A and B are shown apart, each in its own frame.
Chain A
């Protein structure tokens, strides 16, 4: 007769009883998660690992740094540099805009429907990347886009003659903001929710103005989450290709597009250089995510 009082912690801590396999309990547990690990290994870890190893090999299979060094040639460095700049720009602007919107919606005293609508929309918009997004912005700010024509016909301002072009660095950044800002809103909202109302009230009783409260308490508390999310946005943008490809073709030479061209047709004349490119991407996004996790851990420690 088994005692099924699960409330007793000693009982709950025991493994469940398939008694016939009592002796083989250890291996059997792993059987349950084996498919997952095999899948992850075969289709996530090993492919990435394969590329990383290939980055350090030459055509004969010997270990070499030559590919990594070759990354530092001007055209590839330019590609990395432009990728980094676009990612930084869209991450910083996206983060600040997203923060402003999140604060306005969560703490700005607006009616309840504003918040739920914004959250839903942000969930949608953060997934609306890729090719359709490029189309949307072409239809908005392209040469024949609605806004372009509107500004020209109603205000006499032709943004294209003024030097703007959707198929450019700033055009792409502006387009990226469409999924970066909502991503920021979605991620930072829980952190803003975590700003307890009592903190603001306590600060007020201690004589602080709203500005002083934000400067001395709220912003420092949000800072790790904010910085962490900037980094996440950076990594998100760095790896994105579909939107850029659809918008600028290969005219804007960001790293993913370079890699794409390399995979398609070995434009770099050296397959191992392709591996090195991929490794470089993993390195950048991996580093960014390490920082993100570190910042998140720090902010969670405070708010325990």
Chain B
């Protein structure tokens, strides 16, 4: 038994090394901007760059709307499936897995072809339309994660009993969803939201092909032209991702445990 423990530590150490060295190297590289000494110059340049601020803001706004679309789409659907139509759950689950099968580049290619200027639904004819299409695209990419998070959250609360109790008190559907169901799956929804945020912030393919001024293409552009700023941006991006994941971890501790036996 003791010998296997040594091996476990060795493997863990090797794994940790593989993952930490790039992060450390990136950080170290980002500090090298000023010749001869370590400084945060690269970060100063990055944060001061108006394009950084614009694209980051743009991506954040897009992310917020994407999350809204996702929540409005997923929560009522997942709720309805659980409550009334459990039989079509496999179909819906399959659909939510499609974005993992169809690569993002293919999806956005399809958008460009279907919703171009000459189509009946010309999303891409205007900038605003393209923004909307981008949000929709992101909502699609985040669909698997959002659905799984919300569905898991719904599973631990007894949806049926809650709904019936609410209906006895005379609540209509919107009241039920917004005041009874949503608060109980809020934690799950927030988890999905933060995951969506992490995905949107760094996304490149869709934003680039739809020609939108998002953070991803900005990152790519900086990487092609500058030396130290990309490293600083990578550190920032990693910190944001780590931040989102940590929030999700903390949130999961506050998730409602099932009061009665889940199905």
Interface residues of A (CB under 8 A from B): 2, 4, 6, 12, 15-17, 29, 32-33, 35-37, 39-40, 43-48, 50-51, 54, 97, 100-101, 103-105, 108-110, 114, 118, 120-121, 123-125, 127-140, 144-147, 177-178, 181-182, 210, 235-236, 238-242, 245-246, 249, 256, 259-260, 263-264, 274-275, 278, 281-282, 285-286, 289
Task: Tell whether B106 is near chain A: CB-to-CB under 8 Å.
Answer: yes
Q: How far is the CA of A114 from the CA of B22 in the complex (A)?
A: 20
The smallest C-beta distance from A101 to any residue of chain B, in angstroms, reads 4
Is B83 in contact with A16, judged by CB distance below 8 angstroms?
yes
Residue ID in chain B nearest A49 by CB atoms: B110
- A sample of 30 inter-chain contacts (CB < 8 A) reads A32-B85, A33-B81, A33-B85, A33-B88, A37-B95, A40-B98, A43-B139, A97-B15, A100-B11, A101-B15, A103-B11, A123-B248, A124-B245, A131-B223, A131-B237, A132-B202, A135-B223, A135-B234, A136-B23, A138-B231, A139-B22, A146-B25, A181-B19, A182-B19, A210-B4, A238-B103, A239-B103, A285-B102, A285-B103, A289-B97
**Which residue from chain A places its CB closest to the CB of B203 in the assembled complex?**
A130
Separation of A124 and B242 alpha carbons in the complex (Å):
6
Taking CB atoms, residues of chain A closer than 8 Å to B110 are 46-48, 50-51, 278
- On whether the beta carbons of B111 and A43 are closer than 8 Å, the reply is yes
Point out which of A15, A132, A181 has the most chain B C-beta atoms below 10 A from its C-beta. A132
1/0 contact trace for B6-17 toward A, CB 8 Å? 011101100100
Q: Are A15 and B84 in contact (CB under 8 A)?
A: yes
Complex: how many Å from CA A29 to CA B231? 52
Does residue B259 face the partner (Cβ distance < 8 Å to A)? no
Contacts from B to A (Cβ < 8 Å): 1, 4-5, 7-9, 11-12, 15, 18-19, 21-26, 28-30, 72-74, 76-77, 80-81, 83-85, 88, 92, 95, 97-114, 136-137, 139-140, 143, 160-161, 163-164, 167-168, 195, 198-199, 202-205, 208-209, 216, 219-220, 223-224, 230-231, 233-234, 237-238, 241-242, 245-246, 248-249
Minimum Cβ distance to chain A for residue B136 (Å): 5
B interface secondary structure, majority:
helix
Question: Counting chain B CB atoms within 10 Å of each CB, which of A36, A109, A238 scores highest?
Answer: A36
Contact A128 B233 (CB under 8 A): no
Contact B209 A263 (CB under 8 A): yes
List the 9 shortest-distance A-B pairs measured between CB atoms, nearest first: A47-B110, A108-B8, A239-B103, A146-B25, A139-B29, A32-B80, A132-B237, A140-B25, A135-B234
Residue of A whose beta carbon sits closest to that of B5: A109
- Contact A121 B109, beta carbon cutoff 8 Å: no
Known contacts A130-B203, A135-B231; is-contact A259 B109 (Cβ 8 Å) = yes
Q: Which of B76, B88, B100, B164 contacts A16 (CB 8 A)?
A: B164
CB distance from B191 to the nearest CB of A (A): 11
Most buried by A among B15, B99, B137, B219: B15
- Chain A at the B interface: mostly helix, strand, loop or mixed? helix
A242 vs B11: C-alpha distance in the bound complex, in angstroms? 30
Instruction: List residues of chain A with CB within 8 A of the CB of B137.
Output: 43
Closest Cβ neighbor of B237 among chain A residues: A132
Asked if B28 and A285 sit within 8 Å, CB to CB, the answer is: no
Cα–Cα distance between A121 and B231 once the two chains are bound (Å): 20
Contact B19 A108 (CB under 8 A): no
Residue of B7, B21, B110, B216 with most chain A CB atoms under a 10 A cut-off: B110
Q: Check A127–B198 contact: CB distance below 8 A.
A: yes
Which residue of chain B lies nearest to A129 when distances are taken between CB atoms in the complex?
Answer: B202
